[in-house]
Amino acid sequence: MGANLKEVRERITSVKSTQQITKAMKMVSAAKLRKAQDAITRLRPYANKLNDMLTNILGNLDGSASTTFGTARPIKKVAIVVVTSNRGLCGAFNTNVIKAADHIAKTKYADQRASGDLIFLCIGKKGNEYFKKHYSDCRLIDEYVSLFDDLSFENVSLVSKRMMTGFEKEYADIVEVAYGRFKNAGTQIAEVDQFLPVPPLEIKEGESEQAKSDYIFEPDQISLLEHLVPSILQTKFQKYCLDTHASEHGARMTAMDKATENAEDLVKGLKILYNKARQEAITSELSEIVGGAAALEG
């Protein structure tokens, strides 16, 4: 019985120690989330409006003006960018993003994989570890795994520029990005978005004229496209990274909060178990004493 009590005491101490760690991790993630959330909240409306403008411009080009980034061609070579976190302990967040990328690789681009024309570029260690292990037959670009160490626009632009250059030189005919879209601290949505070529403007039935904007180009369409389109695409890619960064901290804060609550419930259960064991030990000792006294009297 004494051994049982000791074991329960040790478990209570162990769970409380773990609870302190999860509580501290929750506080750290909450602090980081505020900063990450502010960054994506500020950028998202700007990036979304620029993206709408980009699709509208490319849908209204006339004459000889054109850009490679808006031109769709037969899909022979595919590049999938997978944006995950460097660390775990954030629930199913990384798993969901990886599953989204894994799904399109096995279904939508199964032919390209079979022909050896599927490329993965991984940002974040979790995605890199998975695709390195499960897609050894595909080319894996891992130069930007540690991109989250510095999410400045200049640093992130290195990746988007590489994807744009690869698309221009026809190393890839389509570029897809799997990332975690941040909705709020408790909700992160794994999505796959087509980065290149720029998807055509979606015009709903009955609003063909209203959906198109009449732009006046200064100095001319070609000069503007050369500078505007790459800049908008770089901003769009920055949004993918900031979305994922905020999603990671939101998921980790939620996961650590739940772990802390579960630890509290576990401690309560162990304390009840401990008290029961003590009562049983006391009852057993009393029974022995009473039995001994009765034997002496007899």
Q: State how far the Cα of 99 lies from the Cα of 44, in Å rounded to an integer.
A: 24
- SS3 annotation, 80-126: EEEECCCCCCCCCHHHHHHHHHHHHHHCCCHHHHHCCCEEEEEECHH
Question: Is the peptide bond prior to 200 cis by the omega test (within 30 degrees of 0)?
Answer: no
- Cβ atoms within 10 Å of 265's Cβ, excluding its own: 10
Q: State how far the Cα of 101 lies from the Cα of 122, in Å rounded to an integer.
A: 11
Write out the two tokens for 232.
């908008």
Known active-site residue 90: yes
Q: State how far the Cα of 56 lies from the Cα of 208, in Å rounded to an integer.
A: 12
Q: Tokens 């990274």 sit at which residue? A: 241
Rounded (to 5) percent helix, strand, coil in the chain: 65, 10, 25
Q: State how far the Cα of 169 lies from the Cα of 284, in Å rounded to an integer.
A: 83
Give the SS3 label for residue 73.
Answer: coil
Write out the two tokens for 2.
């004494």
Write out the two tokens for 125.
């260690």
The secondary element (H helix, E strand) that includes residue 187 is strand 187-196
Residues designated as active site: 90
